[in-house]
Amino acid sequence: MKGTETVKKEIDYMEPISIANNSKKAFCEECREYKPYIVKVIKRSKENDHKKVNFNEKLSYCSYCGCEIFVSELRDENLSEMNSAFIALKEKERD
60 close to 30: Cβ distance less than 8 angstroms? no
Nearest approach, Cβ of residue 67 and Zn ion (Å):
5
40 close to 8: Cβ distance less than 8 angstroms? no
Binder of Zn ion out of 7, 25, 27, 31 (CB under 5 A): 31
Told to check if 27 binds Zn ion by CB under 5 A, we report no
Nearer of residues 59 and 62 to Zn ion, judged by Cβ: 62
Q: What are phi and psi of 3, to 5 degrees?
A: -55, -45
Nearest approach, Cβ of residue 42 and Zn ion (Å):
20
